[in-house]
Amino acid sequence: MQRHNHRFLTLLIFSLLAFGASALLHSAENRKGDNWTPQTSLPPGELGKVVALGKEIVQNTGEHPLSKPYVNNALTCSSCHLDAGTDPKGATFLDIASAYPAWSPREKRVITLEDRVLNCFMRSMNGVRPPNGSKVSVAVTAYITWLSSGSRIRMNPQKPLGPHHVPPLKINPKQADLGRGKTLFAQKCADCHGEGGQGTDEGPPTWGPRSYNDGAGLSRNEKLAAWLKVAMPLGDPSLSEQEALDIAAFVNSHERPKFVLEDHLPKAEKLGEYNAEPQ
């Protein structure tokens, strides 16, 4: 009897150990899922070609023949989604496909990644929403989805934002000082963006008719300040929260195109389309 008990106990301890080890392994695997590294090699075949096309459009949005008709300013997607969205901080595209479909408080409905892409055309690019399923829309969405390959899905029930979105600042937006912002802009930004914010060869326009419109995320001071904190000056983002907020208020105090939704939608029959070659 004694010996029997002993064997039972050994077995019990053994199973507990094995269970613990497997639980540990399991959580290590989960962590691995979170720490995934971005894709570098393109998928084979047509899919790879479409992903590459999407990247080209993200970098040359105003010039590429497929996207040009839908852009109405001097920006590219890459102007804000730095390094074609591969910068891990500057409004990154890395891992974001895992957050969609997502609830959008603005649209008051669940939207897909494709919808989210098309919204940036209407607002940040001051252009027209390309039709759902059109070549340009599919290519850009395919590129952004590819950047999330291997990540696990965790759809966002609160807002259309990926897991590594620009973190909001802690400072109260009411503490902005336009005068300080003006001086700081002249010191830290004007070399590349021009004294008048009109843009130079070194940087795109930050206000005026060729910049983002007042429906874009960055037209809100707190959003622009948070983005500036992680993105500008380009290559050396080093502003304090107060500086970022002062500069954001100064930049957004200037005129930019007004956003009126109807002006940015395609004709009703073009709002969606069947994306296949005729058989």
Evaluate whether 211 touches 204 at the Cβ level (below 8 Å).
yes
Q: 24 vs 83, which CB is nearer to ligand HEC?
A: 83
- Using CB under 6 A, pick the residue from 68, 165, 180, 182 that binds ligand HEC: 165
Binding test (CB under 6 A) with ligand HEC, winner from 50, 53, 96, 169: 96
Alpha-helix runs per DSSP H in the chain: 2-34, 45-59, 113-122, 135-146, 178-188, 190-193, 221-231, 241-251
Residues 99, 21: Cα–Cα separation, whole Å:
31
Region of 21 please: left (phi>0), alpha (psi -120 to 50) or beta: alpha
Contact status: 61 vs ligand HEC (CB under 6 A): yes
Residue with Cβ nearer ligand HEC (10 or 275): 275
Give 26 or 127: the residue with its C-beta nearer to ligand HEC.
127
**E-assigned strand segments in 62-205:** 102-104, 109-111
How far apart, in whole angstroms, are the C-alpha atoms of residue 263 and residue 9?
75
- CA-closest candidate to residue 208, choices 167, 258, 244: 258
CB of 231 to ligand HEC, least distance (A): 7
Single-letter code of the amino acid located at 158? Q
Peptide bond into 65 cis (omega under 30): no
Stretch that binds ligand HEC, among 38-46, 169-177, 185-193, 269-277 (CB under 6 A): 185-193
Binding-site string for ligand HEC from residue 112 to residue 151, where x marks contact by CB under 6 A and - marks none: ----xx--xx--xx--------------x---x-------
Residues lying near ligand HEC in the complex (CB under 6 A) are found at 61, 75, 77-82, 91, 96, 99, 116-117, 120-121, 124-125, 140, 144, 160-162, 165-166, 188-189, 191-193, 202-206, 211-212, 216-218, 223, 227-228, 232-234, 239, 247, 251
